[in-house]
């Protein structure tokens, strides 16, 4: 069958020689190619003579015939092409094409592996950058939380716990530098054994601690001598001990300075600022250490800034409380002064008026105090006033207000107290003073030191502040007229 097909091809080729104007070499050019498994024959390359136009349709049919024949032969598996007087087996062509395809596929595979490596590297870089961005977000949240704290103890505790809980470090210790004793004191820690921490030996006259204290230089130490980026070789003898205490192969040492607190910023002879605290942080991973160090330095800066703000806040708050206390307190007796008495009396009368309550006022005067003061000296007189003030504090209720009204006079505001109750309280005070021993009391006209008191009640005696005080004062003077050492109610 194959032989018959080949002969048919030769007959078809002979049909093309009927025109004498055609040159044999230009009769036909056949070439083979594959497109989706099919074989085809190229259109004849003929000279543009007049006869070619008339036979163009026939030649097209011949080309289609050739294509179909080659398809049949290809399916049979033994396609032979007659070209330039010799037969070519298509299997040789297929072998060459197969070899070229295999070479091309190997190149593609190699390039694909290279692209996969590059792609994996880029994915790792992107993931690392995402992790770093997330770390910066957590850092911002942690520092914002620090800025809201106003209590120093809470702040120091939060500095270490936040490093482990919010920033995912393994452990942390905050050391405070005691300049007077030249040592570091652990004041706050997280995920660290306090017992092991107490056994940790730190020498401030050696690096890295000398640089931390004096120059505020940050360090990271790695418990692996094979790592080429080892920061400080002089610290290797100490790093293993730190690693065991913090249970981490990487140790960061970050200085903290309270920027706004002059008490924690000490200038040495070089004019450099010393550290007030050291942050010691442990980390398990030994990668991206410089980024971790940068994160910790930013965190330490925020912690130092917040610590300074808290110190200033507490300092000003304490001064404000002290000044406020001084402004409303008598310096000698410790009782409230007359200005505060006037403010509280008005406030208490308004409260009693709103709630339909009674309140009482007691004015008290030390009998023959001028004689005692002149006979025994002002220091002895001051001691008497202090002792009387102590009796008033001890014998009254928590809600009562004791004041030094002026000189040897005292005043008591008794909320929610009627006149009968006030007289009982006054009599109790008078008796306590009379039975208390005072130095040099035997020189007094009555043989001991006594007090006289006047009592007035709101609203029974008056609803006006000034008038209520006058009523109590009149009772006091009447007590003196009655021979002193008595209690008299306002009329």
The bridge status of strand 219-222 relative to strand 487-489 is unpaired
Asked if 427 contacts 488 with a C-beta cutoff of 8 angstroms, the reply is: no
What residues contact 397, with CB distance under 8 A and at least 6 apart? 414
DSSP 252-313: EEEEE--TT-GGG--B-TTSPBPPSEEEEEEES--SSHHHHHHHHHHHHHHHHHHHHHHHHH
Domain boundaries, the chain: 2-84, 147-321, 338-489
Asked if 266 contacts 179 with a C-beta cutoff of 8 angstroms, the reply is: yes
In the three-class reduction of DSSP (H, G, I as helix; E, B as strand; rest coil), residue 138 is classed as helix
So what's the architecture of 338-489 in CATH?
A: 2-Layer Sandwich (3.30)
C-alpha distances out from residue 162 to 91, 242, 285, 286, 297, Å: 75, 21, 18, 21, 14
Asked if 481 contacts 454 with a C-beta cutoff of 8 angstroms, the reply is: no
> Under CATH, domain 147-321 is a member of which superfamily?
GAF domain (3.30.450.40)
In the three-class reduction of DSSP (H, G, I as helix; E, B as strand; rest coil), residue 453 is classed as strand
Residue 421 confidence class, pLDDT cut points 50, 70, 90: very high
Q: How would you class 60 by CB atoms within 10 Å of its CB: exposed for 0-12, middle for 13-18, buried for 19 or more?
A: exposed
408 is catalytic: yes
The bridge status of strand 359-366 relative to strand 451-458 is antiparallel
Beta strands in 214-315 (DSSP E): 219-222, 250-256, 277-283
pLDDT over 50 (residue 280): yes
**203: its two tokens:** 């020498």
Q: Do domains 147-321 and 338-489 have the same CATH topology?
A: no
Residue 91 confidence class, pLDDT cut points 50, 70, 90: low
Integer Cα distance of 100 and 102 in angstroms? 5
pLDDT of 308-358, one tens digit each? 888 888 888 888 888 888 899 999 999 999 999 999 999 999 999 999 999
Beta strands in 219-320 (DSSP E): 219-222, 250-256, 277-283
Among 226, 408, 467, 491, the one annotated catalytic: 408
Residue 75 confidence class, pLDDT cut points 50, 70, 90: low
pLDDT of 130-189, one tens digit each? 877 888 888 888 888 888 888 888 998 999 999 998 888 999 999 887 777 777 888 889
């Amino acid at each position: 069958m194959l032989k018959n097909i080949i002969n048919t091809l030769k007959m078809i080729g002979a049909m093309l020689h009927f025109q004498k104007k055609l040159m044999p070499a230009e009769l036909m050019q056949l070439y083979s190619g594959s497109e989706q498994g099919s074989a085809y024959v190229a259109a004849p390359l003929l000279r543009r003579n007049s006869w070619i136009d008339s036979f163009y349709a026939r030649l097209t049919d011949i080309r289609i015939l050739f294509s179909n024949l080659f398809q049949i032969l290809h399916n049979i598996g033994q396609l032979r092409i007659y070209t330039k007087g010799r037969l070519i087996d298509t299997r040789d062509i297929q072998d060459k094409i197969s070899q070229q395809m295999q070479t091309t596929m190997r190149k593609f595979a190699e390039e694909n592996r290279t692209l996969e490596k590059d792609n994996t590297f880029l994915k790792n870089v992107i993931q690392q950058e995402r992790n770093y961005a997330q770390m910066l977000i957590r850092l911002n949240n942690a520092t914002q939380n620090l800025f809201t704290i106003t209590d120093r103890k809470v702040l120091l505790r939060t500095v270490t716990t936040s490093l482990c809980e919010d920033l995912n470090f393994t452990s942390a210790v905050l050391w405070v530098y005691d300049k007077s004793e030249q040592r570091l004191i652990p004041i706050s820690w997280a995920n660290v054994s306090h017992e092991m921490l107490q056994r940790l030996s730190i020498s401030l006259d050696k690096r890295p601690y000398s640089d931390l204290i004096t120059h505020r230089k940050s360090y990271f130490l790695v418990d692996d001598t094979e790592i080429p980026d080892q920061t400080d070789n002089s610290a290797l003898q100490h790093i293993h001990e730190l690693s065991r205490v913090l249970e981490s192969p990487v140790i960061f040492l970050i200085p903290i300075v309270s920027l706004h607190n002059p008490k924690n910023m000490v200038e040495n002879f070089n004019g450099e600022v010393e550290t007030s605290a050291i942050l010691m942080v442990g980390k398990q991973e030994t990668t991206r250490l410089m980024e971790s160090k940068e994160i910790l330095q930013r965190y330490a800066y925020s912690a130092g800034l917040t610590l300074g703000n808290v110190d200033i806040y507490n300092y000003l708050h304490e001064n404000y409380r002290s000044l406020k206390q001084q402004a409303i307190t008598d310096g000698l007796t410790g009782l409230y002064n007359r200005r505060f008495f006037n403010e509280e009396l008005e406030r208490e009368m308004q409260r009693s008026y709103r709630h339909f309550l009674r309140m009482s006022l007691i004015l008290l005067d030390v009998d023959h105090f001028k004689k005692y003061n002149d006979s025994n000296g002002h220091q002895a007189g001051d001691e008497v006033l202090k002792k009387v003030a102590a009796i008033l504090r001890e014998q009254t209720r928590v809600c009562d207000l004791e004041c030094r009204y002026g000189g040897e006079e005292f005043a008591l505001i008794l909320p929610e107290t009627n006149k009968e109750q006030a007289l009982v309280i006054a009599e109790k005070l008078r008796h306590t003073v009379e039975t208390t021993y005072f130095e040099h009391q035997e020189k007094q006209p009555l043989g001991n030191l006594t007090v006289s008191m006047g009592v007035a009640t709101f609203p029974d005696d008056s609803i006006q502040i000034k008038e209520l005080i006058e009523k109590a004062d009149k009772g006091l003077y009447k007590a003196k007229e009655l021979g002193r050492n008595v209690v008299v109610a306002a009329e």
